[in-house]
Amino acid sequence: MIGAIVSFTLMAVAGRAISFELDTFEIMMYRSLVGIFILGTFLSLTGNWSRVERGHTGLHLIRNVCHFAGQNLWFFALTAIPLAQVFALEFTSPLWVLILSPLLLGEKLTRLRSLSAVLGFIGILIVARPSPETVTIGTIAAAIAAIGFAGAIIFTKQLTRVTTLASILLYMTITQAIFGLICAGIDGAVVWPSSNSMLWLVVIGCGGLLAHFCITNALAIAPATVVTPVDFARLPVIAIVGYLFYNEQIDAFVLIGALIIFGANYLNIWSETRK
């Protein structure tokens, strides 16, 4: 989980560093190309190409559209609002999974799940403090990004029942590289990254894969009730990074709202694992 925290933090710093040269579509395109290279090399060295399965194209497509939209909005939000606010709103993804699961997975919305969703919404209101002055395009982008990530989580859950992790990751990187190329090339110009930006793109590509690898392994080793509190440490870490490197003041309301969102997530996880 420490590896995941470091990876997500580096991704946020790298995303902001290259946002002045590349737009979000170009970032996603180059990030996915780096991912294809890393995955291809790993599968070749380990001889695991046989684990890449065909089929389930529709599920892969829907999952990757959700993730592509969420990731683009997340990169945009990094440049528009404080880093801690982006991460706090991102933590609402599991709550959106609670709300959307009955519709997409046929799961029941129990009383505790409903309470968790309500508490999470209260946390969102505290973080965003909606008013004409505080609600910006950045906060809206971060909030919608969380919904996109929730959709990716739901459809990933469906895919894990029918195919391998290698298939999910490889199709994700290939599909999103194509999406990025199409969207970045709509204006007829795709910017080639400078040598400095290329290094940051490698950080983003490696960080994205490593973060999910670390979380997956952490959940395989320890219960979610242990893993989730450690994951929440991303918020104070990114708040300190924002303060030290970008002179972003640490907002008490963001921390309080994020704690409530964490509490809502933890309540749901505790109730599920207790069963």
Q: Where are the domains of the chain?
A: 2-274
Say what the pLDDT of residue 21 is: 92
Say what the pLDDT of residue 82 is: 92
Name which of 110-114, 200-204, 233-237 the model is least confident about.
110-114
Say what the pLDDT of residue 270 is: 84
Q: To the nearest 10°, the Cα dihedral for 215, 172, 258, 122?
A: -130
Within a 10 A sphere around the Cβ of 107, how many other Cβ atoms?
15
Provide, rounded to the nearest whole percent, the portion of the chain with pLDDT above 90: 47
Say what the pLDDT of residue 179 is: 95
Q: How far is CA 196 from CA 57, 181, 203, 227, in A?
A: 36, 21, 11, 34
More confident residue, 105 or 149: 149
Say what the pLDDT of residue 95 is: 85
More confident residue, 225 or 126: 126
pLDDT digits (tens, 9 = 90+) for 179-206: 999 999 887 788 899 998 999 999 999 9
The model's pTM? 0.88
More confident residue, 54 or 65: 65
Average pLDDT over residues 62-69: 94
**Helix pair angle (83-90, 234-246), 10° resolution:** 160
Within a 10 A sphere around the Cβ of 31, how many other Cβ atoms?
29
pLDDT at residue 233 is higher than 80: yes
- Is 116 within 8 Å of 268 (Cβ atoms)? yes
pLDDT at residue 172 is higher than 80: yes
What mean pLDDT, rounded, does the chain reach? 89
pLDDT band (50, 70, 90) for residue 49: very high
Say what the pLDDT of residue 275 is: 63
Q: How far is Cα 218 from Cα 237, in angstroms, rounded to an integer?
A: 19
Say what the pLDDT of residue 142 is: 94
pLDDT band (50, 70, 90) for residue 73: very high
Q: How far is CA 201 from CA 66, 77, 124, 196, in A?
A: 21, 18, 31, 9
pLDDT band (50, 70, 90) for residue 84: very high
DSSP code of residue 192: P
pLDDT digits (tens, 9 = 90+) for 16-38: 999 989 999 999 999 999 999 99
pLDDT at residue 156 is higher than 80: yes
Q: Which residue, 14, 230, 268, 15, is CA-closest to 141? A: 15
Average pLDDT over residues 214-218: 83
